[in-house]
Amino acid sequence: MMEWMTCIKSAVAYMEEHLTEIRSPEEVAAHVHVSSLYLQRGFQVMTGYTLGEYMRNRKLYLAALDLKNTGKSVLEIALDYGYDTPAGFDKAFTRFHGSTPKEARGSSKIRTFLPLTIQIQVTGGENMVFRIEEKSAFQIVGFRREFNSETSYEMIPKFWDEIIEKYASHLMKGEAPVGETEQYVADHRIGEFGVCLEGAKAGFFDYMIAGYDRGDAVPEEMSKETVPAGTWAVFDCTMKTLQDTNTRIYKEWLPGNSGYELSGCYDVEWYSPEGMPGPDQKCEIWIPVVPKK
């Protein structure tokens, strides 16, 4: 894999060069030779936009320029920028610019969205506290769901709320488990891991609320997965600092550390089973890595 900042800059350059041809974020990830899961997560952390949002916003800005500066019809411009129908283009255009394509062709102002210039000041990458651990492969079991990369930050917490309410409500109160499924959740410590896995569909990934597989029968609402053996960069944090730590990994540690780069197509969040969940609950973020060549 290329160096992280080179990877992000190369991704932006590739999108700009092939903006009207790219059909999925996976195409961009393949070009820069990095897992789509990592590229999409890192890009969003560093820029505030998902890859899909960035490409969509750029196309809608360029489409507005074409409306103002060419004699092409709305249908021609819609097709040029990947929209199958004028209605779909009109809806997206109006949401982005605040005016319809017809209005934009006249005197209405348009929203400017220029190419990103990636410039970042690494302030603490080398100083972030982490450790490198070799881990054997292990089996996890739990609740698995597919998520859209563009809405995952909003939807994954709701997934946790749903699973806790349905299958672990008594456990969360410190009470004895009720029913077979809640007993299984308790016995297998499901909820100790949150695992992101490369998905089968473009623009999507799988997420598991998981625990340890013991080799016994798995309830039909759950599934198994193997976390491969490998080298991991492990970052200590708490529930209160987990999001900030994750942001710093992509903004500071990856571009600033001199020894390691990303590997694999998954990452793991570990939540300590000791004590009740809360802002001070101990957590770890595990990122699979390999030494830089």
Residues 18-74: tens digit of each pLDDT:
999 998 899 999 999 888 999 998 899 888 899 999 999 999 999 999 999 999 999
Reported pTM: 0.84
Question: Among 3.20.80.10, 3.30.310.50, 3.40.50.970, 3.40.1160.10, what is the CATH number of 131-291?
Answer: 3.20.80.10
pLDDT the model gives residue 119: 62
| CA 227 to the chain's CA centroid | 18
Helix (H) or strand (E) holding 234: strand 230-238
Domains of the chain, by residue range, sit at 4-105, 131-291
Q: Which residue has the higher pLDDT, 174 or 224?
A: 224
**CATH architecture group of domain 4-105:** Orthogonal Bundle (1.10)
Residues 88-123: tens digit of each pLDDT:
999 999 999 999 999 998 877 899 999 987 665 555
CB 149 within 8 A of CB 25: yes
CB 256 within 8 A of CB 126: yes
Please tell me if the domain spanning 4-105 has the same topology as the one spanning 131-291: no
The pLDDT confidence band at residue 124, using thresholds 50, 70 and 90, is low
Which residue shows structure tokens 């970052």?
235
Check whether 181 has a pLDDT greater than 80: yes
CB 240 within 8 A of CB 153: no
**Cα-based torsion angle of the residue sequence 149, 152, 155, 158 in order, rounded to the nearest 10 degrees:** 140
Residues 183-194: tens digit of each pLDDT:
999 999 999 999
